[in-house]
Amino acid sequence: MLLPQEIIRHKRDGLVLSQDEIQAFIDGLVSGSFTDAQVGAMAMSIYQQGMTVDETVAFTNAMKNSGDVLSWPELDGPIVDKHSTGGVGDKVSFMLSAIVAACGGYVPMISGRGLGHTGGTVDKLESIAGFNVQPNLQEFKALVAEHGLAIISQTSNLAPADKRLYGVRDITATVDSIALITASILSKKLSAGLDALVMDIKVGNGAMMTDIKQANALAQSIVNVATGAGVKTEAIITDMNQVLGNSAGNALEIKETVDYLTGVYCEPRLHQITVSLASAMLQHAGLAGNESQAVAKIEQVLSSGKAAEKFADMIAAMGGPGDLLENPWASMQKAKVVQDIIVKQDGYINGMQTRDIGMAVVALGGGRLAGDQQVDHSVGFDAIVPLGTQVKAGDVIARVHAKDSDSAKRATNSYLGAITLEEDLSELAPVIYHSVTAEK
């Protein structure tokens, strides 16, 4: 029998853990034979010593196999997914899943709730009256088979070892370990039985990774480990130095999604990132031979309305309304107070403290300060003017949606405090930095 303290000592001393040692630790996480103190010590040892690619592959696979692992022998197309490291205004999952499903892929997307300043995909879907984010796994598989996509919340049966480990990491200052982040993300994603995965690694002042060196390290770790686990994977590093799209807030982002899919409004940065990720998904899934073929397919399913139809069918099949595209606000709550945010001076919008804007949404009630907190899906910001825009005193640069005038005023002040206006235009960060593939 492998003793917990011996496994911890090996990693503490910088040794490479064997598969048996890793499996014993993961088994101990699930059974409880590793105490919280021992789990914390192990997490700190990994944080300080790191892990090799082979160790991280074994660690990821062991966590993946600690619960249910889906398989899809009944489907006639590739199983493909995308994961984002999170940001403010990131509603790409909705467009992306609908586009890829409309092109012949199957997208079983298991998503999370809001965390800190970042919005949660599941919270956004719960803006829609009746939408059920927690079907059982049999229902989930049936939805994917029939519609080509389904987006659900994480279940207790998928990678349960990760759930316990993450809870301990959260209180032991070991969250930001590249190896542990990699294993946490991939154990959940790979349990969905994927053929291909595309990662959206956000970098900037609204992202978990605030500089390009960190983002590259995480991207390389994820693609190396996922590829080592047998899933074709690419990471694309994208900008999060401003809100993505023109809205931040749960129902407001669903409305922007509907506008995007139906051709009412397409914010350029959001479109560029969506097309880049969708193109990579189609190519890795074998649904397009090259980038130009992929982009042509994407544009076709958007212009024909086929992607919008896929999204609408999923919403209706999962308990939402049948007319979301035609009348989105019939099934979503509107905020009681909507006010313009007006600048008081001329200049170029050269800076946006994106994390602060995300926290302003949380302060409005659109996110959680505690795990059991109720979310106000109606609040947030929209009509957001992007970086690089020249404005004059009195111009509207966004709108706040709030439950009352006091919180609207506080949010307005927070938003204005997060914006930098300057006389001359500054150089903007690229929307997409580069892609990362597995090291040979």
Which residue of the set 141, 163, 169, 355 is catalytic? 169
Which residue of the set 64, 81, 257, 376 is catalytic? 81
Does 82 participate in catalysis according to the annotation? yes
Which residue of the set 56, 121, 187, 247 is catalytic? 121
3-state secondary structure of 137: helix
**For 240, which DSSP code?**
-
- Using CA atoms, how far residue 101 sits from 12, 79, 95, 308, 335, in Å, is 45, 10, 10, 11, 32
Q: C-alpha 246: how far from its chain's center?
A: 17
| C-alpha count within 13 angstroms, C-beta hemisphere, residue 181 | 23
| C-alpha count within 13 angstroms, C-beta hemisphere, residue 391 | 24
Instruction: Please list, in sequence order, all residues whose beta carbon lies within 8 angstroms of the beta carbon of residue 113, skipping any fewer than 6 positions away.
Output: 120, 122, 123, 153, 368
d(CA 216, CA 236) in angstroms, rounded, equals: 10
Does 184 participate in catalysis according to the annotation? yes
The residues with which 435 forms a beta bridge, in sequence order, are: 236
For every residue of 324-354, DSSP letters joined together read TTT-GGGSSPPPSEEEEEE-SS-EEEEEE-H
- Using CA atoms, how far residue 5 sits from 2, 15, 21, 60, 329, in Å, is 9, 14, 11, 21, 56
Query: In the structure encoding, which two tokens stand for residue 36, read together?
Result: 């919280």
Which residue of the set 60, 182, 184, 331 is catalytic? 184
Does 121 participate in catalysis according to the annotation? yes
Does 189 participate in catalysis according to the annotation? yes
Does 162 participate in catalysis according to the annotation? no
Which residue of the set 11, 64, 82, 255 is catalytic? 82
Strand order in the sheet with 396-402: 337-342, 396-402, 380-382
Number of other CB atoms surrounding residue 322 within 10 Å = 12
State the amino acid at position 260 in one-letter form. Answer: Y
Which residue of the set 91, 189, 269, 310 is catalytic? 189
Does 81 participate in catalysis according to the annotation? yes
Find tokens 């040794």 and name the residue.
Answer: 15
Which residue of the set 188, 232, 255, 297 is catalytic? 188
Which residue of the set 83, 124, 377, 401 is catalytic? 83
Query: In the structure encoding, which two tokens stand for residue 183, read together?
Result: 């294993």
Which residue of the set 84, 118, 174, 279 is catalytic? 84
Does 52 participate in catalysis according to the annotation? no
275 burial level (CB within 10 Å; 0-12, 13-18, 19+): buried
Q: Which residues are catalytic, by number?
A: 81-84, 121, 169, 184, 188-189
